Structures are given as C-alpha cells and as structure tokens.
C-alpha cells in the first residue's frame, strides 16, 4: 500500500503525534509505504508534487514536538479553481496514492470532502486549537492552548493585582469561544467574553467598577470573535485565497479603549496570539492525537474512506466528511460551563 499524509491549515500542538501514529500503525500492520506531502495542499497542487517518503526513524522521537514536520499552508486551496483541483487529483494518481490522510481543521476538511467527491479515497483527522470542528467533541491542540492561556492569565493576574489594573487578555478561537471559556474558568478570569454572547459594554464596565471598590483589579478573558451588542467582530486582516480568508484579532484593544473611558483604573490589553499554537502538546493531546492517528490508519486498512475520525462521548468514532464540511461547532448557550460560570459570579458580558 502507498498512503499519502498531509497537514493543512494553521498548525497546532499534536500534529506530529498524529503523523507518527498514522505512519507507525500503517507500517507495522500492513508494511505500507507512507508518503509525506509537504506544506499541506500546496505540496499536492504544485506542478511537481512536494513529497518525502517517511521511514520509521523519521516518525520516531516526534511525539512531543510542536508544529508539523511536514510543513503546512493556510492559503493553498484548489476549491473553485478547476485546473488546480484537477492537477491535485492528477498528482495523487501519479504518486500512486491508494489513500490520503488529511490532518486539518474545517477549511481543510472542506477540501478533503471535495477531493473525496472527485474520487480520491480520503480519511480526515480533526485538528485545531479552536475545538470548533463539527461532530468532534475534542480536537487535539485545544487542551494545550487552554493550558497556555491559563498560565498567561495567572501571570497577568499577579501583575494586574499589583497595579490595581483592569487586564484584558485576548485568546484565539475564531467564531467559537471554547478557548476563552475553558481557559477563563481555569485561569480565574472575572469576566469571560465569547463570540456566542454579545457583550454589553456598560455592564462590563459596571462589573469592573464594583471590583475597583473591593478587589481593585479585574481580569477579562475575551475570545477574538467576541463583539459588543449591535457591533461587529474585530477583523485584523484578510488572507486572499485561504479557505477562511478572514483573520480576527484586536478586540482586546477595542474593548480596553472603551473601558478606559468608563473607568478610573488603568486598563491594559494583551493579545496572546500564536503563542497559543506553539510548543509541546500536553499529555492529553499526545494521547488523543495518537488515538486519532491510529484510528485513521485503521480506517485506511479497512477501506473506509471519505470519513473523519472523531471523539464522541469519550470514544473513538468516525463520521462522513460531508457532515463536517461547511459546519462549525460553537459553545451552545445552554452549555453547563456557562451555567457554572454564572453561578460562581463570573460575568459573561450580558446582564443575566
């Protein structure tokens, strides 16, 4: 068997753990030849495909390594470009790939789905720090990002407390508030603002004013997709050609400026940015990534294609790529963590 593997979209901790598990499982169980495609779909769309044959030694010792040994791209997108799509399929045929394992987020799964529709046998593996892939209750990378943000919030709190400041900390997460919610709770944020709940600036200011009287400092954890009532999300840039061209970012500065006009305390903003995507995966993410990788290899060997491996009710499962493509998984408004946050007095930006 000759199996291709690529990592697409933004990187996240645990990608190498998946590559290792897919390759080792296929090599051990069916002596497969595993071909790494370099730089995500860019490597398969290129006039000469960018590949490297992976042997056992290349996928050993990478479990705990951040990033991806294969490289990735968040711009390479053959969708809506028939000539590029045809070249991608042609390259896969020429390489003699019997299947392609695609590790990526929702944009990557949309491309994987289209390739599957066009006849390429594909198995998807869900990756993203955002935890927003449809049909998957936990994507690897998320736990590591939450740990990083939690650590940052603890550090921000001690300096904020010393200076009696309001500290606004922005997390990634795109249109889903999972990182802000879980890290905000783990890092004892006083205010957590999510894309799913539009915030009332007057109410957030009121909460900070009350804390000015007693605790004298406030930590606000805001997801990059959060927006004020009646307002817009803060867009940092557009990346043309990317499956998801909009890049959010900067809401912490917008919020800090608005709060500053309403408060006596000094307000400071910190945008955590790509630090959340870097570094070594947590033990949880290493285990999840290993399970996903092994599960993907099992699907390949069983000839079950056009599916994505997933975690459902704490168990390995798999779902059709068509049920993943073009869907997002947001924080439901009745999620128990939202209720718990409210009940312990965390402000979620609304007046509930």
List binders of ligand F6P among 239-268 (CB under 6 A). 247-248
Q: How many CA atoms lie within 13 A of 134 on its CB side?
A: 16
In angstroms, the CA 243 to CA 328 distance is 14
The interface mask with ligand F6P, positions 157-186, x = CB under 6 A, is: ---------------xxx------------
**By the rule CB under 6 A, 68 interacts with ligand F6P:** no
**CA-CA distances (angstroms) from residue 71 to 5, 12, 15, 16?**
11, 11, 10, 10
In 3D, which of 9, 102, 82, 88 has the Cα closest to residue 45?
A: 88
The single residue of 106, 130, 132, 190 carrying the catalytic annotation is 130
**By the rule CB under 6 A, 270 interacts with ligand F6P:** no
Of 97 and 180, the one with the shorter C-beta distance to ligand F6P is 180
In angstroms, the CA 40 to CA 7 distance is 5
Task: Give the residue, chosen from 39, 110, 114, 130, that forms a contact with ligand F6P under the rule CB under 6 A.
Answer: 130
In angstroms, the CA 149 to CA 160 distance is 16
Pairing of strands 122-126, 33-37: unpaired
Active site residue 130: yes
Say how far residue 208 (Cα) sits from the centre of its chain.
30
In this structure, what DSSP letter does residue 136 have? -
Least distance CB 94 / ligand F6P (angstroms):
30
Cβ(272)–Cβ(169) below 8 Å: yes
In angstroms, the CA 263 to CA 217 distance is 12
Binding footprint of ligand F6P, residue count (CB under 6 A): 13
**By the rule CB under 6 A, 78 interacts with ligand F6P:** no
Cβ(53)–Cβ(34) below 8 Å: yes
Least distance CB 231 / ligand F6P (angstroms):
19
Of 174 and 307, the one with the shorter C-beta distance to ligand F6P is 174
Of 231 and 250, the one with the shorter C-beta distance to ligand F6P is 250
The interface mask with ligand F6P, positions 288-327, x = CB under 6 A, is: ----------------------------------------
| Active-site residue list | 130
Q: Which residues bind ligand F6P (CB under 6 A)?
A: 10, 74, 105, 128-130, 172-174, 224, 247-248, 277
């Amino acid at each position: 068997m000759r199996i291709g593997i690529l990592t697409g979209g933004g990187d996240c901790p645990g990608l190498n753990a998946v590559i290792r598990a897919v390759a080792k499982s296929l090599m051990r169980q069916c002596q497969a030849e595993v071909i790494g495609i370099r730089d995500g779909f860019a490597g398969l769309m290129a006039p000469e495909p960018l590949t490297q044959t992976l042997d056992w030694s290349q996928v050993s010792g990478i479990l705990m390594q951040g990033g991806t040994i294969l490289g990735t791209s968040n711009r390479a997108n053959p969708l809506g470009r028939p000539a590029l799509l045809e070249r991608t399929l042609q390259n896969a045929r020429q390489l003699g790939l019997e299947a392609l394992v695609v590790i990526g987020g929702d944009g990557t799964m949309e491309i994987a789905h289209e390739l599957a529709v066009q006849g390429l046998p594909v198995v998807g593996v869900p990756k993203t720090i955002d935890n927003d892939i449809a049909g998957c209750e936990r994507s690897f990378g998320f736990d590591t990002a939450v740990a990083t943000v939690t650590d940052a919030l603890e550090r921000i709190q001690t300096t904020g407390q010393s200076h009696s400041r309001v500290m606004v900390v922005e997390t990634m997460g795109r249109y889903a508030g999972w990182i802000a919610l879980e890290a905000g709770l783990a890092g004892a944020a006083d205010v957590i603002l999510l894309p799913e709940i539009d915030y009332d600036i007057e109410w957030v200011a009121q909460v900070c004013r009350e804390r000015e009287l007693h605790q004298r400092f406030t930590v606000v954890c805001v997801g990059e997709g959060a927006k004020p009532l009646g307002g817009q999300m803060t867009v940092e840039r557009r990346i043309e050609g990317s499956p998801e061209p909009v890049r959010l970012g900067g809401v912490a500065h917008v919020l800090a400026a608005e709060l500053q006009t309403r408060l006596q305390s000094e307000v400071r903003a910190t945008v955590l940015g790509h630090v959340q995507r870097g570094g070594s995966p947590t033990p949880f993410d290493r285990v999840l990534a290993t399970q996903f990788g092994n599960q993907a290899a099992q699907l390949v060997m069983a000839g079950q294609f056009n599916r994505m491996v997933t975690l459902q009710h704490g168990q390995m499962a798999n779902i059709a790529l068509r049920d993943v493509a073009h869907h997002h998984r947001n924080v439901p408004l009745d999620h128990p963590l939202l209720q718990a946050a409210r009940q312990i007095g965390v402000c979620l930006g609304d007046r509930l």
